[in-house]
Structure 1
Amino acid sequence: MKNLLLQYKPFLLFLGKFIASYLILTILYQNYLNTFDAKNAEVDSFTQIVANQSATVLSWFDSQSYTMPHLKEPSVKLFYKGKYISRIIEGCNAISVIILFIAFVIAFTGKFKNTIFFILCGSILIHILNIGRIALLCVALYNFPQYEHVLHGVIFPLMIYGIVFLLWVFWVNKYSNHAKATTKK
């Protein structure tokens, strides 16, 4: 048993760091969400920011783009060309994706400064790309409402998760301790 633990120590350390950081960040995020009253259709602040920023991007293309609170559920209505296109819910704000991204980077540790810098830059990039993703999705839904399932359920999630995957690959190959161990061999 001891030999197995030693043999799989790098994997077990990765798994332990990933699970621990993911759980801690998820619990912190859930505590943040619990400060808002979903029963009274109260939207968390970050989701509201994401909705407003998405509407701002849409307004570059059409001046009749805006947001409006949803009165019956905790979401924000997003309008494009004066038409109600979608609702922005907590799951649209990409915080869960950012938590997943951060947990992976922490699990594949690198130098402290590089890790912090990469987490900050990667999180900002994910946020910016998520805003663009929402705006593009709204334009696509406006023009092709019959493809809502494919656009919302396949293509646009693939965009955000694809970028996160590429960031992970870049991190592991350039800055993580794994990259340093590989180049030394």
Structure 2
Amino acid sequence: MNSQVIKFIAKALLIFILWYLVYELWLLPEGSLDEWVSLNIIGTSAGFLKWIGYEVFTVNRFIGIGEYPGIEIVDGCNGIAAMGLFLGFILAYPGDWKNRISFSILGICAIYLVNLVRIITLTITQVEWPQFFDFTHDYSTTTIFYLVIFILWMVWVNYSDANSFSADSKAVA
């Protein structure tokens, strides 16, 4: 196996372990980051749902429509863990730090927006197509969520490699 691949895997694994420890041992028990992100997603989703004509209610981390029970944004569903996974890939893969930071911010915003669409979709599905709620929650929205993370990482790999190649070409010339 190529030493660059081994280096990437080792770096990614170390970053994931560090992220896991920081998140599980400090951020999650402390709770304010998860609470803030969850409430932000609830508020933004509620605003959008009201804008398109639904009668929305929110209570703490719950969002719902009309008389339906609503859905709860628990810590595992607010996107923070996925953002950490995305950042691990970006930080482990070579690239210019300025570009890496810019792309990380862009990627976190994209993941946030995908999660927002996910929560809106789940809230509407509970009302409009309740028979599809479990499937939508367990498979389709989660698959799309992680597919977006993978696509973002592939964009970074191609972008980083293209910039690395052009920087190497300039250095040689």
TM-score by length of 2: 0.85
**Residue 62 of structure 2 corresponds to which residue in structure 1?**
77
Shift in Å, 1:78: 1.1
Shift in Å, 1:155: 0.8
Ranges in structure 2 where 5+ consecutive residues have no aligned partner: none
**Residue 101 of structure 1 corresponds to which residue in structure 2?**
86
Is 1:20 the equivalent of 2:14? yes
- Residues in 2 aligned to 1:59 and 1:179: alpha-carbon distance in whole angstroms: 46
Within 5 A, what are the aligned runs for 1:123-142? 123-142=108-127
Is 1:113 the equivalent of 2:101? no
- Residues in 1 aligned to 2:86 and 2:161: alpha-carbon distance in whole angstroms: 14
Query: In the alignment, which of 71, 74, 78 is matched to residue 89 of structure 1?
Result: 74
**Contact 2:68 / 2:126 at 8 angstroms: preserved in 1?**
no
Question: Which moves more between the two structures, 76-85 or 121-130?
Answer: 76-85
Ranges in structure 1 where 5+ consecutive residues have no aligned partner: 1-6, 38-42, 70-75
Q: Would you tell me which structure has more helix in proportion to its own residues?
A: 2
Is 1:52 the equivalent of 2:43? yes
Number of residue pairs aligned between Structure 1 and Structure 2 = 166
1:162 corresponds to which letter in structure 2?
A: L
- Residues in 1 aligned to 2:92 and 2:157: alpha-carbon distance in whole angstroms: 10
- Residues in 2 aligned to 1:112 and 1:93: alpha-carbon distance in whole angstroms: 27
Shift in Å, 1:59: 1.6
Aligned CA distance change for structure 1 residues 103 and 177 (closer, same or farther; 3 Å):
farther
| Percent of paired sites with the same residue | 23
Q: RMSD between aligned alpha carbons?
A: 2.4
**Contact 2:57 / 2:63 at 8 angstroms: preserved in 1?**
yes
TM-score by length of 1: 0.80
1:15 corresponds to which letter in structure 2?
A: I
SS at match of 1:79: strand
